[in-house]
Amino acid sequence: MSKVHIVIPARYGSSRLPGKPLRDIAGKPMIWHVWQRAAESGYSSIVVATDDQQIVDAVERFGGKAVMTSREHASGSDRLAEVATKFAWDDQDIVVNLQGDEPLLDPALLVRVAQLAESATNAGLATLVSPIYAVDDLVNPNVVKAVFDQNKTAHYFSRAPIPWPRDAFAISKNAMPEGDYFRHIGLYAYRVGVLKSIPQMPASPLESIECLEQLRPLQHGVEIKVAVVDKAPEHGVDTEQDLARVIERVERQLISA
């Protein structure tokens, strides 16, 4: 059986929320909360990949493992590939990418995407999607859409509404059209051999146009397997408003515990 590693990319710099991984949530830095979600998945190989010594120090203070990575990486895949190479993980191992700004992520989703990658032996990546029920989400470019076949193999990801409901939208773009529409949940599991090859792939025109890094391996013929989950996880932390929402949620949980 492949070994599963959870890697948590955590950059210090953020234009909207500087020092984000170290921001306080109920007396603990955000990165601590994300680490707890990873630990609750049951996988023991967990490492934070960062570009700042302050984050390394914070992780080591609570007993976690962190590694410094280059500040020059253009994408999360590049950072994860550096980590896999540093630790000489086997090409058949699985790396799950848990973003460092997801303190409320359900650990069951980590297990789901890792198991999908393990079982899909011909796929280089696995990821998750959830149904779209609101037309506002369907037309929102910040909600990434996914199209896949009956074997749950991804065909395309886009910020545009796909598939395009031509006849329904010709009548009204304010009502949710009939049909199945899915949002992409930005949670990936990579087979290590494929992960290490992604930074060597030529830049993809589709990746550049859509600003979606998963389109690079897809355009280069890497199979991406998809599993459908009932609902998307709660949005991560990008802004002060997001942080306030998460703090309120965590404090409510502590009070009710």
Smallest Cα–Cα separation from 85: which of 240, 230, 204, 195? 195
Provide the pLDDT for residue 257. Answer: 61
For the chain, the maximum distance between any two Cα atoms, rounded to a whole number of angstroms, is 58
For the chain, which residues score pLDDT lower than 50? none
> Span 4-232: which CATH code?
3.90.550.10
Provide the pLDDT for residue 189. Answer: 97
Distances (CA, A) of 90 to 5, 85, 110, 189, 215: 11, 9, 20, 15, 24
Count Cα atoms within 13 angstroms, Cβ side, for 165: 17
Separate counts of helices (H) and strands (E) for the chain: 10, 11
Provide the pLDDT for residue 1. Answer: 66
Distances (CA, A) of 179 to 35, 40, 154, 182: 38, 36, 18, 10
Return d(Cα 140, Cα 45) in angstroms, integer.
36
Return d(Cα 208, Cα 213) in angstroms, integer.
8
Provide the pLDDT for residue 29. Answer: 96
| Domain parsing of the chain, residue ranges | 4-232
Encoding tokens for residue 225?
């397997």
Provide the pLDDT for residue 55. Answer: 96
Q: Taking the CB of residue 129, how many other CB atoms lie within 10 A of it?
A: 23
- Chain CA centroid to CA 38, Å: 13
Q: What is the pLDDT of residues 174-211, one digit of tens each?
A: 888 989 999 999 899 999 999 999 999 998 899 999 99
Provide the pLDDT for residue 241. Answer: 92
